[in-house]
Amino acid sequence: MKLNDKIIPIRVFAFLLVLFFLNSCKQDPSKVSTADLQHVEISAKDFQNAVDRVTEIMIHDIFSPPQASRIYAYPNIAAFEIIAQNDPTYKSLAGQVTDLTEIPTAADSLVNYSMAAMIAHMDLSKSLVFSEEKMTAYSDSLYDMWSEKNKPQFDASMNYAMEVVEHMKEWIGKDNYKQTRTMSKFTVDIDDPARWQPTPPAYMDGIEPHWNKIRPLVLDSASQFKPEPPPPFSLEKNSDFFKELKEVYDVSEDITKKGDESEEVEIAQFWDCNPYVSVTRGHLMFATKKITPGAHWMGITEIACKDTEANFNETVYAYTKSSIAMFDAFISCWDEKYRSNLIRPETLINQHIDENWKPILQTPPFPEYVSGHSVVSGAASTVLTDIFGDNFSFMDDTELPFGLPVRGFDSFNKAAEEAAVSRLYGGIHYRAAIDEGLTQGRQVGQWVIDNLQMKQ
């Protein structure tokens, strides 16, 4: 009995030791050493997915092409400024981009700069779209995952990102966008046969007539690259203007004879990118969902990043530089649109050539000269060529979600040229608007290249 009396307490003591050891392993997560936590890796694909999500929301919210360029550029700049704090390869845009000052530096050594860049990008994007809840749902799913993996790192990154967001919002708020929301609508001069008039089927007012008052990012002014004026308006059959008008009609008629399967129709539809397409069925009119031209070129940027296996920082750099060029390209283009205020081919062809004629593409709701696709494509292709090189061949699958096939291009410049001429095939632009617009866009893109030092 005495032996057992001694053995039992020993067994109890041993059992208690085991319990103590097991309990000691169940530490409070907040007290776990940061050395024991895994660094959260943020990939280039994560950033691309976030931008894609912004694009989806903008399609849902039906933002105009100029507005979309603003929604892309600012969050990209915020993300770039954060990675530039921690990667000596890149140089801050502070002092280079108009009125942008240095962002706060991170005080906490636990900050994950890629994570902070993602957080700042998504939070700023949310503040610039209408459907904030859609962006919130997306970002919260990532936050939960990152926090679960490494809460101290996530908290530090979140805190830093919010500092940067507040800094960026103060800068963004001074770009004159809010002021343009309350400016007068565009007045149509119906007594001047050369001036733009709303077009069917929706006969919408002119979109963003005051966009030239938005603060440029790199340009000296909205009119810095003012294009050559269009041919003087004339309905004389031997005039340059009428020849361009007749070209639109003749090209359209030739394409119609070839049928809907023609190469020209495929090109026109591929580069349509008109978020204001309206469909009328009986007494019902509704809008179809399409991306903007800026969104298409953001898609091409993503393709180039994937094809070159660009890392997170390289991807942010490419997105930022191209979106800055497009932002200024829209300001430059819209400045000319409402200065020349030129009538669209559809209106004149219906009035003077064929009252039953319809363009292959729906005419967008703003003046004709210059072509927005041409300007933006010229700017984006010039910057992308600078980043990835000339003769960069790629397969463009940007329009697959909209039921359009993949198209291949030998270079960004070739893609831009096709985007530009697509507007002639679509029946919505004269030749001068296409050619001069492409030149104007390339000038904007080159100016961005020459005046932004984004790498050390």
* Judgement on whether residues 364 and 425 belong to the same structural domain of the protein: yes
1-10, 169-178, 404-413, range with the lowest pLDDT: 1-10
* Judgement on whether residues 294 and 416 belong to the same structural domain of the protein: yes
Report whether pLDDT(263) > 90. yes
* Judgement on whether residues 206 and 158 belong to the same structural domain of the protein: no
- Would residue 390 count as lying in a domain? yes
The pLDDT of residue 347: 98
State pLDDT tens for residues 365-410. 999 999 999 999 999 999 999 999 999 999 999 999 988 999 999 9
- Would residue 176 count as lying in a domain? no
The three-state (H, E, C) secondary structure of the chain, written as one string: CHHHHHHHHHHHHHHHHHHHHHHHHCCCHHHCCHHHCCCCCCCHHHHHHHHHHHHHHHHHHCCCHHHHHHHHHHHHHHHHHHHHHHCCCECCCCCCCCCCCCCCCCCCCCCCHHHHHHHHHHHHHHHHCCCHHHHHHHHHHHHHHHHHHCHHHHHHHHHHHHHHHHHHHHHHCCCCHHHHCCCCCCCCCCCCCCECCCCCCCCCCCCCCCHHHCCCCCCCCCCCCCCCCCCCCCCCCCCHHHHHHHHHHHHHHHHHHHCCCCHHHHHHHHCCCCCCCEEEECCEEEECCCCCHHHHHHHHHHHHHHHCCCCHHHHHHHHHHHHHHHHHHHHHHHHHHHHHCECCHHHHHHHHCCCCCCCCCCCCCCCCCCCHHHHHHHHHHHHHHHHHCCCCCEEECCCHHHCCCCEEECCHHHHHHHHHHHHHHCCCCCHHHHHHHHHHHHHHHHHHHHHCCCEC
* Judgement on whether residues 244 and 278 belong to the same structural domain of the protein: yes
Report whether pLDDT(285) > 60. no
Q: What is the CATH number of the domain that holds 266?
A: 1.10.606.20
Comparing 283 with 182, which gets the higher pLDDT?
Answer: 182
Please give the residue range of the domain that contains residue 218.
Answer: 186-451
* Judgement on whether residues 124 and 196 belong to the same structural domain of the protein: no
Report whether pLDDT(242) > 80. yes
* Judgement on whether residues 215 and 137 belong to the same structural domain of the protein: no
The pLDDT of residue 276: 82
Domain count, the chain: 2
The pLDDT of residue 86: 97
The pLDDT of residue 261: 87
pLDDT above 70: percentage of residues in the chain? 89
* Judgement on whether residues 265 and 409 belong to the same structural domain of the protein: yes
- Would residue 28 count as lying in a domain? no
Report whether pLDDT(283) > 70. no
- Would residue 23 count as lying in a domain? no
* Judgement on whether residues 157 and 243 belong to the same structural domain of the protein: no
* Judgement on whether residues 228 and 136 belong to the same structural domain of the protein: no
**What's the pLDDT band for 33 if we cut at 50, 70, 90?**
low
- Would residue 220 count as lying in a domain? yes
- Would residue 266 count as lying in a domain? yes
* Judgement on whether residues 117 and 225 belong to the same structural domain of the protein: no
Report whether pLDDT(19) > 90. no
The pLDDT of residue 179: 98
Span 342-353, average pLDDT: 98
Q: What's the whole-model pTM score?
A: 0.91
- Would residue 148 count as lying in a domain? no
* Judgement on whether residues 157 and 207 belong to the same structural domain of the protein: no
Mean pLDDT of the residues in the chain = 92
Report whether pLDDT(1) > 50. no
pLDDT above 90: percentage of residues in the chain? 86
The pLDDT of residue 389: 98
Report whether pLDDT(15) > 80. no
- Would residue 177 count as lying in a domain? no
The pLDDT of residue 290: 82
**What's the pLDDT band for 3 if we cut at 50, 70, 90?**
very low
* Judgement on whether residues 302 and 268 belong to the same structural domain of the protein: yes
